[in-house]
Amino acid sequence: MQQRVSQYTRFCPNEPKIPISDAVCLGRRRSHYPYCPGCQFNDDEKKAAASAGGAARVQETTRMLDAIFKAYDVRGTVPNQLNEDLAYKIGQGTAMFLQSQLRGVERGDPDAARLILGRDMRKSGPALCAAFSEGARAAGSAVVNIGMIDTPQVYFAVNHLRCAGGVQTTASHNPGHYNGFKISGRGGAPVGSDTGLADIKRLAQTVVRRDEAKAPVSEIDLTAPYKAFVRGFLHPPRPMRVVVDASNGMAGKWAPILFGDLDALDVTWLNLEHNGEFVHEPNPLVEANLRQLRDEVRRIGADFGVCFDGDADRLILVDEHAAPVRCDLLTALLAREFLRTSPGATVVYDLRSSRVVAEEIRSAGGRPRRERVGHAFMKKALSETKGVFGGELSGHFYFRDNWFCDSGMLAFAHVLNVLTREGKPLGELLAPLKRYAASGERNFENEDKDGAIQRLAERFKDARVDFVDGITVQYETWWFNVRKSNTEPLLRLNLEAATPELLAEKLNLIAKDLGKPVEH
């Protein structure tokens, strides 16, 4: 019997003042309306929970999801923390979330709801990728599988094909038994805990496998347009001898494709194999992982060397003397290059960076924008300011002409451009930027992180103090930042001073109040 309006007792969580009929409620559940999971009127969930072990299964799923959903991505060990069943649920939750972000006529356009899906070289990748795809298709999103790719290619594909979002199956720089998902929205915008990842986790908690008709899946090879896109930023390079360490990651496939046919470059390739086995951990921030690269640069007398991380969205350089290059100094060097052609533009840098970064940006006619640590914050700041370029100490570099996203391959191309235009060794170009003494990031065990930061604020209240990310204290001849780790009982200290002597003095002054020093 058809209900009268006066008999409507249901409503959607996002529209609590608008009553709906039982039929509308059922229709929304069948079409995977994003607000149905967890709703008090979701009869499907009630039936599932009422079945034998239903509630216990939901509880167990929630526990497992809590362990792998991080601030910026999904990541865990396989199969103990992340398995194919969870990948299916996360895939369905991701598709439902991305569909909920569609507006206007997009909601009726199946192409607008398409989802890009890629993976890196990890052995668990094919199975997890397939399960994620199945879940996304069960939610009604067509999946475009672009194969084994570097993470920046996901951002390219989302924009090139105008899809609702994209997902890379990767654990970035973690060891081989880890895997996970990096999720992006429209335009390649990052999906983090504050911008949708928490919603995806909530949606995935109550997913029930369905044997309904699925949206289609297709495969596409974007090698040609992606190579044309990256090479479009590269000027004809001068003759150089370069060592490239691919870290047995995605650079092992894509760096030779993108740059291997340049006659001017004499490239020595290291660790190109990309089969899920690693000669060294695919994390170039750990100095021990640069040892092989540095030895080879010295042996052949290379102009410089580059080490990519596992999914090739970031890199670390060593100069012609095999000395590691600080990423804040590289940010300053590249900023000058971008400001040559975009005078007055904004350049975003992470707040741990040397003062030299802001000084160089201003001297080149740009506007420095200091930002908190993390790729979600960097991308957002660059997009909001329409900035031309951004750089982090972690080796992530962001580009306006890459939809404000990061790319290790584009960073490599722009380094080649600078060295070609300047005609000088990398170390010589960086030398004038080394005008302050820096501590590097140091870690301290501390169970009372908030209390320690508050005590620092009281102790240094005569300085310029801000709390953009942890606490930053600035004096004329020295400054420091102390940040909390999001995942461990650690405080992270970065300190810079006008001289090495002043640096040592201030380190002794501050470190004693931060806890037990740890190598991390």
Which ranges of 342-472 does DSSP label H, i.e. alpha helix? Answer: 355-363, 375-385, 408-422, 426-430, 449-459
* Alpha-carbon torsion, ordered 326, 456, 476, 441, to 10 deg: -10
Determine the angle formed by the axes of helices 84-100 and 125-138, rounding to 10 degrees.
Answer: 40
* Alpha-carbon torsion, ordered 189, 193, 195, 199, to 10 deg: 120
Question: Are β-strands 315-318 and 178-184 bridged in parallel, bridged antiparallel, or unpaired?
Answer: unpaired
Q: Nearest-CA neighbor of 370 among 383, 388, 384, 357?
A: 357
Q: Cα(186)–Cα(112) distance, rounded to whole angstroms?
A: 10
Provide the token pair at 50.
């009422």
Q: Cα(189)–Cα(229) distance, rounded to whole angstroms?
A: 19
Q: Nearest-CA neighbor of 353 among 496, 473, 193?
A: 496
- Does 485 participate in catalysis according to the annotation? no
* DSSP secondary structure, 7-49, as one string: G--EEETTEEEEEE-HHHHHHHHHTT-TT-TT-TT-HHHHHHH
Q: Cα(96)–Cα(34) distance, rounded to whole angstroms?
A: 5
Q: Nearest-CA neighbor of 42 among 54, 33, 51?
A: 33
Q: Cα(402)–Cα(408) distance, rounded to whole angstroms?
A: 11
Over the range 127-152, which residues count as b (16 or more CB within 10 Å of their CB) and which as e?
bbbbbbbbbbbbbbbbbbbbebbbbb
Q: What are phi and psi of 9, to 5 degrees?
A: -120, 0
Local structure of residue 3 (DSSP, 8 states):
P
471 CB-contact burial (10 Å; exposed 0-12 / middle 13-18 / buried 19+): buried
Q: In what order do the strands lie in the sheet with 346-350?
A: 367-371, 346-350, 389-391, 397-399, 405-406
Q: Nearest-CA neighbor of 482 among 423, 442, 437?
A: 442
Q: Cα(506)–Cα(116) distance, rounded to whole angstroms?
A: 49
Residue tagged active-site, from 124, 133, 172, 407: 172
Neighbour count for residue 45 (Cβ, 10 Å): 22
Q: Nearest-CA neighbor of 477 among 487, 489, 464?
A: 464
Provide the token pair at 51.
């079945």
Q: Cα(496)–Cα(480) distance, rounded to whole angstroms?
A: 6
Active-site residues, by number, are 172
